[in-house]
């Protein structure tokens, strides 16, 4: 454990250069977490979870759909602090995501307790 925090952090992912990112669910933010003391800096507003870096260093995540709509797969540009929608996942309750060595993206449906490959 890095630090005890009252904030609800989720969707943790290490970047290729060793930085740790997560989603701050209580305030809908993407944050960079300091590995020494657990403090964090807000990168951008992001209502989502399930972060993963692909082999090229692109950060992807699961953005929550408005009004209960299915979640969107998004890419996040950390330099420009922007989010781009790739497309709908067709699901509402996906949790963690991870890239396979071949570039396939896997997600976990936390309600059905099943994995899904995109």
Q: What confidence score (pLDDT) does residue 2 get?
A: 52
- 93 versus 1: the higher-pLDDT residue is 93
Domains identified in the chain and CATH numbers: 9-93 (2.40.10.500)
Confidence of residue 92 (pLDDT cuts 50, 70, 90): confident
Spatial contact of 86 and 77, defined as CB atoms under 8 Å apart? no
Answer yes or no: is pLDDT of 60 > 80. yes
Q: Please, which pLDDT band fits residue 24 given cuts at 50, 70 and 90?
A: confident
Is residue 18 predicted with pLDDT exceeding 60?
yes
């Amino acid at each position: 454990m890095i630090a005890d925090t009252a904030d609800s952090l989720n969707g943790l992912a290490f970047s290729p250069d060793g930085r740790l990112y997560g989603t701050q669910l209580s305030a809908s933010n993407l944050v960079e977490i300091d590995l020494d003391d657990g403090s964090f800096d807000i990168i951008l507003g992001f209502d989502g979870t399930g972060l993963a870096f692909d082999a090229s260093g692109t950060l992807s995540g699961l953005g929550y759909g408005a009004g209960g709509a299915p979640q969107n797969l998004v890419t996040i540009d950390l330099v420009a602090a922007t989010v781009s929608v790739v497309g709908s996942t067709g699901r509402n309750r996906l949790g963690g995501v991870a890239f396979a060595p071949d570039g396939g993206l896997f997600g976990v449906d936390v309600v059905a307790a099943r994995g899904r490959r995109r």
